[in-house]
A and B are shown apart, each in its own frame.
Chain A
Amino acid sequence: MTETPSQTVGPFLSIGLTWPTGYLVVPEGSPGAIRITGTVHDGAGEPVPDGLVETWQADADGRFDDPTFGFGRAATRPDGSYEIVTVKPGALGDGQAPHVDVSVFARGLLDRVVTRIYFPDEAAANAADPLLAGLPAERAATLVAAAAGPGELRFDIRLGGERETVFLVL
């Protein structure tokens, strides 16, 4: 059978795709909770106020045993920012560094773009990660979040322009 093609979410995705607690992979204040915030930028560096970021990850032990856990969803705000409250995923034990898969949707994106968030306190694991190790250092750096205070990380997504985020084809 032929696949159904992808189309843009359009600018009004919040009517159907969001819910108020979508950004909470874990409740606020949960043990080990971290807050990942960032801004989605277009190729001119302007914020994308009509985008959606979705995340999918293993639990803190590196497991996917519970398919109702590990999904986060946040629409971007008028300033292009988003936030996800989650826990740091454990390593999967297969040589990959701890990571979160990310989808970005927006008006003007005819298909989602996919990227990954890696963690800044995993220097050794990141150096050995097959994806990161295969990229030039300056490009790999676009996939590693920045520490932004206790339990706080920053992960900006740049659809184009300088320091364009590395996007992935699955």
Chain B
Amino acid sequence: MTYRPAADGTHPPLLSPGYRSTGLRAPSQAPVVLPQRLTEVTGPALTGPVGPSDADLTTQHAGEPIGQRIVVFGRVLDSDGRAVPDSLVEIWQANAAGRYAHARDDWPAPLDPNFTGGGRVITGSDGSYRFTTIKPGAYPWGNHHNAWRPAHIHLSLFGRAFTQRLVTQMYFPDDPLFAQDPIFNSVPDEKARLRMVSTFDLDATRPDWALAYRFDIVLRGGDQTPFEAPHDEEGHA
């Protein structure tokens, strides 16, 4: 089993001049192709660091965080449509005012003593995951004149193999800040870009408590599917 590369335009080029910080961090030499061997087609199965309150970011402190409660949920799949079960999903995000609980975030919006913004969960047998959190706010940053990051939640996925490792961001539907954001727009293909935008889901809301956004995440799929070798059923040989 090897994992096929993504279609052109799916992932951003490392050098994306609109996002200034890529200038000194994008390697200048072309990457060297490494055939996928055992190290690449295996990957960690991590369950240890997940604590009982890690899936609900609104109950990690003594009081209620400020902001709109939301449920963020979906499935982790590979590009062949197969679920990725028993896999660690990690999220981190700003609070409702757009500020991160981090010493180096100097955006002068209020910190929320009841919100840290970190969460973890393990996917279920069908690849599903679910967090309860607070809708993050947009925030300005120094990339260009009047630059604002659209509201977003960072997500980290491991998949089943080193090749499937992915860090992405979930955005919210109809955000007016998309057009001016060089990180969102670093993804060349528009259809791929729109895969980072979640869907409001009224049916998944928690009545009188939390709005809900669905976000399915698709990791690299296989070049072949040797785990399910063709077989003949009894009597149909």
Contact = CB atoms under 8 A, between A and B. Distances in A.
Q: Which of A4, A7, A8, A56 has the most CB of B within 10 A?
A: A4
A36 B120 CA distance: 27
B40 to A, nearest CB: 5
B25 A68 contact: no
A168 B31 contact: yes
Given A6-B166, A16-B119, A56-B44, A108 B34 contact: no
Interface stretch (A43-51, A119-127, A147-155): A43-51
Contacts, number: 218
B91 A1 contact: no
Interface string B113-128: 0001111100000000
Interface of A is mostly: loop
Nearest to B54: A16
Interface string A1-32: 11111111111111111010010000000000
A43 B24 contact: yes
Interface in B165-191: 165-169, 183, 186-187, 191
A2 B218 contact: yes
Interface residues of B, number: 79
A32 to B, nearest CB: 19
A71 interface: yes
A46 B24 contact: yes
Interface residues of A, number: 64
Interface string B87-115: 00011110000001110110000000000
A137 interface: no
Interface stretch (B64-72, B75-83, B203-211, B222-230): B75-83
A3 B31 contact: no
A17 B90 contact: yes
A15 B101 contact: yes
A67 B43 contact: yes
Interface of B is mostly: loop
Contact of B167 (A15, A112, A130): A112
Contacts of B11: 3, 5-6, 110-111
Contact of B6 (A3, A109, A159, A165): A3
B25 A12 contact: no
B219 A4 contact: yes
A170 B34 contact: yes
B235 interface: no
Contacts of B24: 42-44, 46, 108, 159-160
Contacts of A50: 104
Given A16-B90, A110-B22, A167-B31, 15 more contacts: A3-B219, A6-B166, A12-B100, A15-B102, A15-B117, A16-B120, A17-B90, A22-B49, A50-B104, A56-B162, A68-B48, A71-B44, A110-B13, A159-B27, A164-B28
Closest 5 CB pairs of A and B: A16-B92, A108-B21, A71-B44, A108-B25, A67-B45
Interface of A: 1-17, 19, 22, 42-44, 46, 48, 50, 54, 56-58, 64, 67-68, 70-71, 92, 94, 96, 99, 101, 103, 105-114, 116, 130-131, 134-135, 159-160, 164-170
